Structure formats: C-alpha cells, structure tokens
Structure 1
Amino acid sequence: MSRQLDCQRAWNDDPVIIHDWFKFFRSVRDKYSIKHSKFIHNFDEKGVMLGLAASARVIVSGKNSRERSKNRTVLQPGSRELVSVIETIGADGSFLPPFLIWKGQQHQEAWYQITEQDERLRGYTYATSTNGWTDDSLGLHYIEHYDKYTQHLVEDAEGNVQSYRMLLMDNHSSHLTWQFIQYALSRKIVLVALPPHSTHKLQPLDVGCFGPLEHYYGVEVDNFCRYGHAGVNKEYFMKLYPVARAKAFTRKTICSWKATGLLPYNPTAVLKTLPRAEASAGLETDHSIANTTCRTPKTPRTVEDLESLRNQIAESTTERTDERRE
C-alpha cells in the first residue's frame, strides 16, 4: 500500500499539474475577491494514537539479525486507540478550536466536564463515529463548526455574509457531499480541493503543523508515563493534547503557508522542489490539464447546477486514496 502511495505521489509531483493548480488557486481568489489572508483557511484530519510516545521501546527476539528484524516488537505506553482530530489554520497565523471524533456511539459526560474545567479546551467540539473517522454526516457538522468560528470575519451587524471565505481541503468523499457543498455555497465559503496525493507539498497543515504536533504529543505522553501513569485514556488525552497543540501551533509553524507557495503567492517555492521540474521547464502552462482542473467554477444557481458542480469536483480528482490513514 505504501509503495502504491509513493508512486502516486511521485506522479502528482508533475510540475505541469502543480503549476496549473496554482493558476487555478489564484483565479479563484481573484474571482471572489479573497484578498486578505484572514479569509483563507486549510483544514485536515489527523489520526492521533492515544498512547503514542516519542520514545517507543523496541523489544527484539531471535538469535540472528534476520530473525531480530522480523520479530521486533514496538511497545507503546498506553492505548493504541485512535482519535481523529480535524484542525483548521488560517493564512494569517490564526487557528480554530479542533473538532475531535471519538470511536463509539455515545458522548460521554466526562468529556464536557473536563472541558468546562479546563480553559485550554474552550471551543473544542466532540463527535463520535463507528470507526473514529469522518463520515458524510460529520463532514457537514465540521463545515458548520468552521462557519461558527469564522463568521465574525464576514458578517455585518444584521448577520448577513458580506465577503467570501476560502477553505482548502483534500478530496475526501465526505467533503464532496451535496449537503456539504450546499452549506458552503449558502454561506459564501469557497471550497478548493488540492490535487490528489499532493498534500505533502501543498497543504500547510501537512507541511508545517502535523509533524510538530505529533512530536510534542509524544513528548507529553512520555512525561506523563514517567510519573507512574500506566497509560493514556480519553480523559488524559484531553489534558495532554492541548499542551502539545499549544507548542506545535505557533505563528512559526503556521507560516508553513509560505513554504507551500500559497501565501505569499509563489509557485516557485514548490516547483523548484519537484524532481521533474528541470525536464518539464519548457512545457507550456496552457497544457490540456488546465482545461480540466483549472477552470474557475461558476456559482450554482439551481439544484441541478449544484449537482453538476459536485460531479465536476468528483471527476476532477483521481481515484481517492485516504492519505489521512497512512
């Protein structure tokens, strides 16, 4: 599976595809007059193992090196249960409260008791699903969560939306539902999907935030277990995660927007890192790909137009591979 993903990512490092997508990104900003960085956000889902430590212990059994390599076991100090965290960062260095998804069917009163007692958890939103990941219903709940915490940027005194917001995302199916798109359109939220398998280059959260977040959370788990705790459950996670998040989500890491070439707008920041950039330097930017992936979308006026837009978005992406679960 990982080899297949590596091949797909390599193919989507094609400078023509990336360059044409940058043109599309700029055309959308121009069309909807999204000039200020405070109106542009990126969101993505990250799976966090509750008991993931920074210094996992490795136990090796076997008499020779070949057996040791085959039989090694990694021990983590606690639960291997995953919680999905949807994070959202702004191009101006801001970030929204996270949207947490627990595996299960019922909300626990303890989650809300801890939230009320801890100022760092203010604004945290909790949801559940059978597998602990986003589904179509939770996708809609997320876009409502995003709207709730950014509407003050665009509404007038009467609550009317005056300006457009841009929301960058991957092409997961839960972001392409009719309800998700309809809600976004009704609230002047312009959805922009990244090219498939390109998040390691173009998504600010992947480029500068999730790595430090995973590191600092692992450090917190290490420190927690050194004080004699046997492991990390959901309640302890809610105490450790905000600490790690505060260390990881700084203006320095959120400035990963610059590394992606999105803001300030600088496609060269990414294009120069692509392995085939030199070979493709002479290609025209009005390649046929631009005719399919770089069209500025028209605002739907009817249900039929909305469904057509949904189909266009779905067709413009290749067969989806859920990168969040690598």
Structure 2
Amino acid sequence: MRAPLSIIYNFDECGFQPGQGRSRKVIGSGLACPDLAETDRGETITAVECIAADGWLMDPLFIFKSSGSNFKEAWYDGSEALPPNTGTAISPNGWISDELALCWLGYFINATAGDRLLPGEKRYLIFDGNGAHLTLEFLEKCEKYAIVPFAFLPHSTHLCQPLDGKPFLNYKQQFRLENNELSFWGGRPYGKAEFLRIIQPIRERTFHPRIIRDSFKDSAKAQRNLTRIFQHQREKLEELAMTQDSIRRIRAAQAPQRRVYTKRQVKTLSQDGILRPRDANRSIKERKEKENAAEKRRIDKAAEKAYGFKPSQLSDETIQRAKDSAKEAKDNGELFFYGLIACF
C-alpha cells in the first residue's frame, strides 16, 4: 500500500563556503576605479535540512568546522530570527558524522511526533547513500520508532531526491547572491555569527511550501528513470548469474582434463592377481596419510626453528573438514571460502 504523501520525508546536507563570490568591475564617470577582488573563502558550513511532501519544513541543523569542543557566545550574536528548535553542532571538517547523523535522527523523531503522526502510522524517510546514514545504530533507531528508511542508489539522487532539485539549487543561489554582494564591496567572508544572521531570510525565500511540494512532484516524474535504473540493474544481475553458471559448467566439464595422474603403482593384495578398487583406495589413503604426516613434521620443524615452538596440534577431522570446504568452494567456482587457520 502506498504511503500518504504527508508522511514521506526527505533529508540531506547542503554545504556552504562563505566567500565564494565573484569580482566585478566598477566603472565611474571619468575616474579610474580598481576592480573589486574576490573575497577569500571561508570555512565549510553544512546545513542539514528536512522537508515533507505536504510542504512541511523541519528546523535546520548547522554544522560548523571547529577543532575544539566548545561553542562560543559570539557565534550567536544576531541569530534571534532562527527557528526556536534550530540546532548547531561542530565537527573537525564541518561535515556530518555518524554521531551527528544519529543525533539529528533524534531531533527528527521529536519534530514529527504529535499532530504529524497518527497512532500506528509509519514515517517514510528517504535520503542518499551517505555512510553516516547507514550505520547500524541509525537503522536500529529507525526500526525502534517506526521509521522506514530508504537510501537511493548511487548516482541516482539527482533524479530521485526532492531536496537535490529546486530547494537546494535555490538555497545555494540565494546564498551566493549574498556572497556576491559582499565580494562586490570588498568585504570579508562570512563567519559563524554572520552566517546565522543571514541564513534564516534565505531559508524563508528558498523553502516555500509550494516549492517543497513541487520538488516532490518533480521527483515523482523521475520514477520512469528510476525504473529504468532498476531494470538495468536486474538485467546485469541476470547476466552475471548466467555467466557464473556457464563458468561452473565449463569447469565441471574440464575437470577430468585438469586432473593430475600419477605413475605410482598399487600392488595387488590377493593371490589371483586381481586388484579390487576398495583395496586400491585403501592403499592410496594409507600413502596419503604417510605423506601428510611427513609434510606436517617438516612444517613443525620449520616453525620450531623460526619461532622457537611448534604450532598448535589440530585433529585430522578438523583438517579434513577444511580440505572438504576448500574443495567444495573450488567446485562451486567461489573465489573465497572459510577454511582452516592454523594458530601459532
């Protein structure tokens, strides 16, 4: 059963780098004016935004780059216009981490409770395949609070993710206009305080309910492209399965040709000169046991010489199981298998 649009949410990170403005020429009347140079680039700031298909917008989480663990009072000077539940965090590189993604999920659970969640209703959360969104703790918390997570396939988020459409394009464009104005007048890159002061008006112009709803509609139009991606992946998997089956059959057919035949002779054990297969197999088994024992003594001697003590003694049954596992893996065409590890 398809979920109602009102409980489909999309969250993603949008990176900003204050100071990314363009220089412009200033032309005066009869006076020579120098070009206004581009400002230096500031530190990376990440905004974590979440929207819903009914036009709802969650309060943001801003991640600042900081090597320390303390928040400074000066950062929040003039940030009164921000929504009351706005969150700020710090990380060494200004990007989201596993811990911050899990913390944001807690904010999301609280923000979507109450009037936005009916009893027994699930929340569908769609996002990109960032590793911070796919940790075991993140997925377990989703399961605990009846959240259905869905990560898009790699290289498909620009087609399927609503935030990657008009919202984030408009978001960055509005912020770039502010930077261009700053660069035009030769200002310095925005710091944390300036960013928190100007970002809320930009968010209000960017995340209009109509723009949010249209972004989900535009993503729905991309379902045909997503269906083609799934179809292509399924065809590739079928081709891979057919190829693996062909390789297995070829190896099985060529196995007798690769078999190594020895010139060892087996003596008859009866007076009539007839050799029974069971007697031959018993003789072969005894010979192999003697060879294995001799090889084992050689390895033990080399190990004792190199390390000063012999390796741990393993039972014949354990060794035989390891050999059987290796043979079975080889017959199945597997590249890797769980075998026997001798511990010294």
TM-score by length of 1: 0.61
Output the CA distance in 2 between the equivalents of 1:164 and 1:183: 13
2:163 matches 1:201? no
Question: Of residues 138, 145, 156 in structure 2, which corresponds to 1:187?
Answer: 145
Distance 1:288 1:232, change over 3 A: same
Distance 1:228 1:88, change over 3 A: same
Shift of 1:121: 3.7
The answer for the alignment partner of 2:199 in structure 1 is 241
The answer for the alignment partner of 1:139 in structure 2 is 101
The answer for the alignment partner of 2:3 in structure 1 is 34
Question: Of residues 54, 60, 64 in structure 2, which corresponds to 1:102?
Answer: 64
The answer for the alignment partner of 1:256 in structure 2 is 215
Distance 1:76 1:85, change over 3 A: farther
- Which amino acid in the other structure matches residue 52 of structure 1? Q
Count of aligned pairs between the two proteins: 226
Output the CA distance in 1 between the equivalents of 2:45 and 2:92: 12
Q: Helix, strand or coil for the counterpart of 1:184?
A: helix
- Which amino acid in the other structure matches residue 220 of structure 1? E
Distance 1:212 1:287, change over 3 A: same
Q: Is the 8 A contact 1:154 1:162 kept in 2?
A: no
Distance 1:148 1:107, change over 3 A: farther
- Deviation digits for residues 196-226 of structure 1 (CA, Å, limit 9, x no counterpart): 1111111100011111111111112333556
Shift of 1:51: 2.0
- Deviation digits for residues 290-317 of structure 1 (CA, Å, limit 9, x no counterpart): 99xxxxxxxxxxxxxxxxxxxxxxxxxx
Matching of residues 39-118 of structure 1 within 5 Å: 39-53=7-21, 56-57=22-23, 76-104=38-66, 105-110=68-73, 113-114=76-77, 118=80
Distance 1:101 1:251, change over 3 A: same
The answer for the alignment partner of 1:267 in structure 2 is 223
Distance 1:91 1:289, change over 3 A: farther
Shift of 1:152: 1.8
Q: Is the 8 A contact 2:42 2:189 kept in 1?
A: no
Distance 1:224 1:290, change over 3 A: same
Shift of 1:286: 11
Calculate percent identity across the aligned residue pairs: 24
Distance 1:252 1:52, change over 3 A: farther
Output the CA distance in 2 between the equivalents of 1:230 and 1:287: 52
Output the CA distance in 2 between the equivalents of 1:252 and 1:43: 17
Shift of 1:97: 0.9
Q: Is the 8 A contact 1:47 1:83 kept in 2?
A: yes
Output the CA distance in 2 between the equivalents of 1:58 and 1:227: 9
Shift of 1:96: 0.5
Shift of 1:139: 1.3
TM-score by length of 2: 0.58
Output the CA distance in 2 between the equivalents of 1:100 and 1:109: 14
Q: Helix, strand or coil for the counterpart of 2:173?
A: helix
Q: Is the 8 A contact 1:44 1:88 kept in 2?
A: yes
Distance 1:58 1:176, change over 3 A: same
Unaligned runs of 5+ in 2: 26-35, 239-344
Output the CA distance in 2 between the equivalents of 1:179 and 1:189: 13
The answer for the alignment partner of 2:84 in structure 1 is 122
Output the CA distance in 2 between the equivalents of 1:284 and 1:78: 47
- Deviation digits for residues 45-88 of structure 1 (CA, Å, limit 9, x no counterpart): 111012233xx1289xxxxxxxxxxxxxx964344311011111
Distance 1:76 1:252, change over 3 A: farther
Shift of 1:183: 0.7
Q: Is the 8 A contact 1:107 1:127 kept in 2?
A: no
Q: Helix, strand or coil for the counterpart of 1:133?
A: coil
Unaligned runs of 5+ in 1: 1-29, 60-73, 292-326
Shift of 1:125: 0.5
Q: Is the 8 A contact 1:79 1:233 kept in 2?
A: no
Distance 1:79 1:47, change over 3 A: same
Q: Helix, strand or coil for the counterpart of 1:106?
A: coil
Q: Helix, strand or coil for the counterpart of 2:204?
A: helix
2:198 matches 1:232? no
